[in-house]
Amino acid sequence: MNSCLYECSVMHHRFAPKVHHFQHDIFMFYLDLDELEIVSRKIFLFGYNRRNIYSFRDADHEPAGENPLKERIISFLRQNGIDGGPFARVMLLTLPRVLGYVFNPICIYYVFDEQAQPLCAVAEVGNTFLEKKLYLLRREELTAGDTFSKLLPKRFYVSPFTELNLNFDFKLKIPGDALGINVDDRDGETKVLVTTLTGKRAELNNRNLFWLTLKFPLVTLKVIFLIHWHALRLWLKRVPLHRKAANLTLQQDVLRPHVSLSAKIK
């Protein structure tokens, strides 16, 4: 199978307006969207569009629609001028549902042609309002042959402690034996926040998934708990708050918009 697991370390280092640093360990799935039924049959803890300890549901991801997820992401690429297909393989780095609960600060699609050459990457960024936004990195943004790199306007509410008029500095290395992803917040040339996701590959089999489940139980709940825990610590440090409702014009191309943003769009 092309699908695998990654045992990961997540690091955040905030430079401004006050320094804040943390690091924690999780694991993620790297799934070939053509293999979801196969993975569901072979891995007894994993279900595709059905309940299990770990369950992957097409409906949890963007772009939205009734078709299978691979078809939807290919349609999105074509709508955005990616015509270098055929699109042979789509891999998704993600957290599935754990006991029915899902939360992903970021998922990343990597798209390959028939010669297994990378065509593009799409970062699906989510926030605690359950909104999502897609950021497209094209083949021309591929540097050193294996890393999609691009500076894109953020225009999405991720954290109340970070302004919206910043840029995301994406460096998305194509996963191999190791994982290496950087998504930094920049204000012009100044780094405001550095975020890295690093890890090592593990075969997706029953033994490895069982072991990582013991090592990192309830991983999606861990992620959402740590987001709120560090938000509390930032608040105690008196880092200024940027309320979502005060910055609606800077929230653009948001998918599954929260009611406050929906009202503004209408």
Residues 109-119, mean pLDDT to the nearest whole number? 93
pLDDT in tens, 151-181: 999 999 999 999 889 999 999 999 999 999 9
Please, which pLDDT band fits residue 266 given cuts at 50, 70 and 90?
very low
Note the pLDDT of residue 262: 57
Note the pLDDT of residue 203: 98
Note the pLDDT of residue 85: 65
Starting at the edge strand found earlier in the chain, the sheet holding 46-48 runs: 46-48, 54-56, 97-98
Please, which pLDDT band fits residue 38 given cuts at 50, 70 and 90?
very high
Query: Is 0.85 surpassed by the pTM of this model?
Result: yes
**Judging by beta carbons within 10 Å of its beta carbon (0-12, 13-18, 19+), is residue 118 exposed, middle or buried?**
buried
- Please say if the pLDDT value at position 84 is more than 70: no
Note the pLDDT of residue 144: 83
- Please say if the pLDDT value at position 261 is more than 80: no
Residues 17-44, mean pLDDT to the nearest whole number? 96
What is the DSSP secondary-structure string of the chain?
Answer: ---EEEEEEEEEEE-SSS-EEEEEEEEEEEEETTSHHHHHHH-TTEEESS-SSEEE-GGGSSSPSSS-HHHHHHHHHHHTT--S----EEEEEE--EETTB---SEEEEEEE-TTS-EEEEEEEEE-TTS-EEEEEEEGGGEETTTEEEEEEE--S---TTS-SSSEEEEEEEPPSSEEEEEEEEEETTEEEEEEEEEEEEEE-SHHHHHHHHHHSTTHHHHHHHHHHHHHHHHHHTTPPP--GGG-GGG--S-BS--HHHHHHH-
Percent of the chain predicted with pLDDT > 90: 81
Please, which pLDDT band fits residue 258 given cuts at 50, 70 and 90?
confident
Residues 24-29, mean pLDDT to the nearest whole number? 97
Note the pLDDT of residue 156: 95
